[in-house]
Structure 1
């Protein structure tokens, strides 16, 4: 049975770093190819004006893409790409923030006869802020703190939270037991 391992969490909690390391761990352990999807790669495909509020064409505000449309597009791409990999018999590791989209991922798993594992990485605010500052995304600090609180309070995330404060990626990889995170 193929697996979907979905890793959510606020910005700066180490989702992408963990997914890359965990994919390598699974390949080394199971000798099976896995497919990794970083949701931010789809988001990165949108190239927009730096300051949308000041961008005009012929005196009119430009047609900028709304955040809701970007998010829907990203999720459509994630689901379609994961579905293709699952149909090829690969396990899929995905990192992206799940706020209300867990039912879409559950449906993907059901349609493909896949076992769904859901991990919500988190860390204390100081760790998250340090990581975000380290990569130069200072504008994301408040969003990360908001997401941390929101994700930790969501009932569907109960039992799926993993705090990696003060832990190396290797420690996190070695401590995560997939069976503990089955949906």
Structure 2
């Protein structure tokens, strides 16, 4: 794909991250809870972190190894992000976050379903998986709502800030 795809759902537009999104990304991710609930969001979250993330996202798209979509409302305002990253062997990893004002509205579930469809139909992955920290069951509920099934609990799989964490892995297959 030469041009970054745009996916529309009933309430959302999933599109490429833009420089204009950086202040909003920084504002949303200032809350410590994002660092506590994810493996790769630092605290405090700085403008340089957002700029670096946008650069990495663009490189992944250019190299055909990943798609990081801004989750936007129909007025084109960013609310969060969702990504699908190629892990070889016809499988990809799904990851997401959304700003606190948009929690518990079904928006990530809606975005994740659209990204799964994109991953299976357009990118032809056989398997899409996702993980969450054991202490973040809300993320697991999203995975279940989009049809993923729990595969395993991986003990002390992730090291963050000098501490080891168990993670839960979910997956769904094309068929």
TM-score, with structure 2 as normaliser = 0.34
Q: Name the structure, 1 or 2, with higher relative contact order (CA <8 Å, separation 6+).
A: 1
The structure whose residues are more often helix, as a share, is 1
Larger Rg over CA atoms? 1
TM-score, with structure 1 as normaliser = 0.33
